[in-house]
Structure formats: structure tokens, C-alpha cells
Amino acid sequence: MRAAMRCGAVLAAAALSLPLATAAYAAPTPAPTLTVAAGADPLADAKTTLGPMLDRLHQLYQEAEAATEQYNAAVARQAAQQAQVTDLRARVESQQAAVNAGVDIAAQLAAAQYRSGRASDLADFMLAENPYQAVVIAQLLDAAGRSQKAFLDRLKSDRATLVELQAQAEQALVQATALATQQEAAKADVAKRLAAVEDMVGSLTGAQRSELEALERQQADEAQLAFLASGALGKGERTPSEAGRKAVAWALKQLGKDYVWGGDGPDVFDCSGLTSQAWLNAGKPIPRTSQEQWAQLKHVPLNQIRPGDLVVYFGGATHIGMYIGGGLIVQAPHTGDVVKVSKIGAMPILGAVRPDPDSAADDKGGDWKVPQVTVGASRIAPAKPTTLPPRPTQPTPTKPTPPPATGTPTGSGTPTGSGTPSGSGTPSGSGTPSGSGTPTGSGTPSASAGSTESASRTASAPASGSPTAQ
């Protein structure tokens, strides 16, 4: 028994002295840890691949909005010209009525004078009951003569005024027609630009749109930070005017409404349609387009802008928004988007204008508190079909018609007979030599020739009557 125990102990000691065997399976490999270097750009790949595409899209947006503002200007000019045409027509009508009435009165005076004409002042004196009565009659006749002369002079002046008004009305109508043509051309340009935008947006996949929106949002954030860091906006919030408060409140009520070219409410807007209608509802009419607002309204430094002032963008003043404080604007951005709040520095700023420069700050309304609104997300999407103009149509190419083949007349080619048609007119028929080459027909002028000559005389007859406004 002791020997067995000693043997087991020896075996155990020998086992403990041997090295440990390696495991029969591989140890699990730890998951690699992804590290991003400080300051790395998570959208670097998107910038490389989609950056040029976003730049091109922004360019198309700007071109479409510039065309829209040109269209808006054409519409405004056409409306003003049409109002002038309507006014001139009314004045012509009124003046025509005055002239007609004057002519009637003049005819009545002439008839009365003819019926009651007297031989001479001496006869009046001799027929009068007394000399005093003759003197009175003479004075009355003299006064009537002077009054009649004044009346006829006035009638002559009225006629001259009528002719002048008719000429003005005709010229105004010509200008209105030209402006209508310009308006249609501007509309066609808008349709062309918007079609280019829709073609590009429609070619993007959903993933590409999402990446472009993220890239656009990053660019806007970076531009806003750079703008605020420059100190151009100044410090603190300035108090708006009373009308400025109303304009901002009205504009913010339009959030979420579609951007539509040429829109000025109540349900759709473009950029200048929103700003012009906001100030109109605040009691201060301003020009319709962004270029006119920039050109005609009072310029103010950026470090002095207050809520209600308008911020103008891009070198051509082709976009505009309304400042609401806190470094934010409310705007109608571009086709496919909606009225929303955006960061003031997200786009290149041209300057700022104030619609009511003579209005003091509304201190009675209290210090300005920036509205609690959410900054709108970047949005790249197709526009609603109902908000787009008809696409410009491409003319269908037509094949040129080949000229008729010319050949040598059949037959001998030598006319037989005298070859001189009888009669005094043009020979009827085709006039083409047949067979022997002798012209057919009797030589009598055909009815169609006489009809043509008669029609020519009728068309060349001058129109009669005085020109009137259209």
C-alpha cells in the first residue's frame, strides 16, 4: 500500500514538472477599433464626388431665379403700361364726349344765329323802341359774340387735346404690346432654366440627394460660422420699427408654403414675392423684384440691420430674404423648396436694404426677441408639376423639299405658226409649249388674272376715318 502511494506521488510530481500544452483552438481576434483623426471631414468623399454636382445645381438654381426676377420685372412693367393704356382710353373717351357735345352746341348756335341774324347795328338802332334799348341790345350782342368766340376757341383746344390723347393712347398700346412680347420671352427663359434644374434633380438617386443635402448643410454651417466670426453683423439685437415687426410676423406665417416662380401669395411665393407682400401687409408697398428692391430702397450697413430689413444675395441681386434677428432670415429659397428660416451667411451677401428708413425703432413694443423657429433643413427635390411652366418645345426638323426637276420639253422645241397669241391680254392656260411648241388658248385674259388685279386695287385703297385708340 505504501509503495502504491509513493508511486502515485512520483507520477504527480512528474506531471507538474512538464510544460503546459497549447490550446487546440485559436484565440478570438479582437475587433479593430476605427479611429478618426481630429478635424477629419466625414463628407470628404462626398465633396470629391458630389461637390462639383452641388456647385452646378446651385448655379442652375441661381440662373432660374435670375430668370424669374426678369419675368417678374416684365410683368410689373406690363401691368404699369396696361394701366396707362386704360387711363388714356378713359381720357380719350371723356375728351371725345366733350368735343361731341361742343360740336352739337356750336351747331345749335350757328343755326340760331342764322335764324335770328340782323341786317346791321344801324337797323337794330332804328327798330329799337328807344335809344337806350338799342345800346343794351348792342352790348348784349357784343358779349354774346365774345362768349361765342371763347366757346369756339375752347372747342378747338378740346379737339387738339383729343388728337394728342389719341396719339398717346396708340403709342402706349404699341409699348404695351412690346412689353407683352418681352414678358412671354422672359417666361420662356424661366421655363428653360427650370427644366434644366428638374432634369438634373430628376437624374439623382435618393442616396445622392441625401448626400447633397448633407453637403449643402455642412457648407451653410461653415459659411455662417465664418460670417459671424468676421464681426460683420455687429453685436446685440436691434429693435425693429413697428412696420418691421408686422412684416416679420406676416412672413413667418408663410413658413412651409411652396416656392413657385412668379409667386406673390397667398399660397405660393418666390423670393421677392415674399418680401414685397410682407411689407405690403405691413402697410409699406415696395418694388416687386429683388433687383428693384436693391436699387430703390435705402441701403444700410450689415452691422446696423434690424428685423424687417431685407438681405440681398449674389452679385446680380438675384435673391433676397428678410432678417428676423439672431443671424437668421426667412426666405423662399428656390424651386423644389418651401418658405423657411435659414442662416444669414449661408449665401454670398451683396448688402442690406431698409424699406422704412424714416421709421424709428419701436421701443414701445419692447426689446426684440428672436422668434423661436427651427432652421429649415436643406432640401433638394423635384418641384411639384403644378408649380412649373410648360416645358419649352423643340422644333421638329423638316427635310428640305427638293427643287422640281427641269428638263427639255418634248417635241421638236420649235414653235409652229406665228407664235404670237391673239388678243390683248395674257394667254390663259399653263403657257408650257406642248407638242410643236405652239401656245394653247385664245389669247384672251383669263378670269383669274382680272380677279387678281381687282383684288390688288381693293387692298391698296386707303382706309377712311380718323384714327382712334385701340
Quote the CA–CA distance of 163 and 171 in Å, as a whole number. 12
Given the DSSP bridges, would you call strands 310-313 and 349-354 parallel, antiparallel or unpaired? antiparallel
Question: Is position 428 within any domain?
Answer: no
In terms of phi and psi (left: phi > 0; alpha: psi -120 to 50; beta: otherwise), the region of 355 is: alpha
Give the per-residue pLDDT at 137.
Answer: 57
Domain match, 53 and 169 both:
yes
Single out the residue of 290, 295, 291 nearest to residue 322, CA to CA: 290
Domain assignment present for residue 306? The answer is yes
Do 226 and 360 lie in a common domain? Answer: yes
Do 127 and 192 belong together in one domain?
yes
Whether residue 221 is found in the same domain as residue 306? yes
pTM reported for the whole predicted model: 0.62
* pLDDT the model gives residue 455: 36
346 and 233: one domain?
yes
**Residue after which a domain boundary falls, among 387, 419, 441:** 387
CB of 272 within 8 A of CB of 353?
Answer: no
Residues 284 and 184: their CA atoms lie apart, in Å, by 30
- The total number of structural domains in the chain stands at 2
| CATH number of the domain enclosing 145 | 1.10.287
380 DSSP 8-state letter: -
Query: What is the CA 195 to chain-centroid distance, rounded?
Result: 16
Query: Do 366 and 263 share a domain, yes or no?
Result: yes
Using alpha carbons, select from 150, 129, 125, 157 the residue that is nearest to residue 139: 125
Q: What are 211's three cell numbers?
A: 448626400
The answer to whether residues 157 and 70 belong to one domain is yes
- Which helix (H) or strand (E) element contains residue 324? strand 319-325
Residue 351, in any domain of the structure:
yes
Helix (H, G, I), strand (E, B) or coil at 190: helix
Instruction: Tell whether 189 and 213 lie within a shared domain.
Output: no
* Residue 307, SS3 per DSSP: coil
For residues 439 and 433, is the Cβ–Cβ distance under 8 A? yes
Residue 234's Cβ-side half-sphere holds a number of Cα atoms within 13 Å equal to: 11
| Sign of the CA dihedral with 246 first, then 247, 248, and 250 last | positive
* Selection from 259, 393, 399, 228 nearest residue 339 by Cα: 259
Task: Show which of 341, 369, 387 is a domain's final residue.
Answer: 387
**Three cell numbers written together for 163:** 388728337
In a domain, 415, yes or no: no
Given this model, what pLDDT does residue 460 score?
A: 37
Q: Considering the domain boundaries, does residue 409 fall inside one? A: no
Residues composing the chain: 470
Burial group, residue 364, by CB count within 10 angstroms (0-12, 13-18, 19+): exposed
| Final residue in a domain of this structure, among 387, 419, 454 | 387
Sequential pLDDT tens for the chain (470 residues) = 444 445 444 444 444 444 433 333 344 455 444 454 555 565 566 567 778 888 888 888 888 888 888 888 888 888 888 888 899 889 888 888 888 887 877 777 677 666 665 445 555 555 555 665 556 656 655 666 677 778 778 878 888 888 988 898 888 888 888 888 888 888 888 888 888 888 888 888 999 889 999 999 999 999 999 999 999 999 889 999 999 999 999 999 999 999 999 999 999 999 999 999 999 999 999 999 999 999 999 999 999 999 999 999 999 999 999 999 999 999 999 999 999 999 999 999 999 999 999 999 999 989 999 999 999 999 998 988 887 888 776 555 555 556 555 544 444 444 444 444 444 444 444 444 344 443 444 444 343 333 333 333 333 333 333 333 33
Domain that includes residue 250, residue range: 206-387
The CATH number for 241's domain is 3.90.1720.10
| Residue 4 placed within a domain | no
Query: Do 189 and 236 reside in the same domain of the chain?
Result: no
Q: Are residues 129 and 264 in the same domain?
A: no
What's the pLDDT score for residue 129? 59
Residue type, 88: L
Name the burial class of residue 408, with classes exposed (0-12), middle (13-18) and buried (19+) by CB atoms within 10 angstroms of its CB. Answer: exposed
Predicted confidence at residue 255, as pLDDT, reads: 97
User: Do 382 and 318 belong to one domain?
Assistant: yes
Compute the distance between CA of residue 415 and CA of residue 63 in angstroms, rounded to an integer: 70
Answer yes or no: is 397 within a domain. no
Domain assignment present for 170: yes
Q: Are residues 196 and 216 in the same domain?
A: no
Q: First CA to last CA across the chain, in angstroms?
A: 141
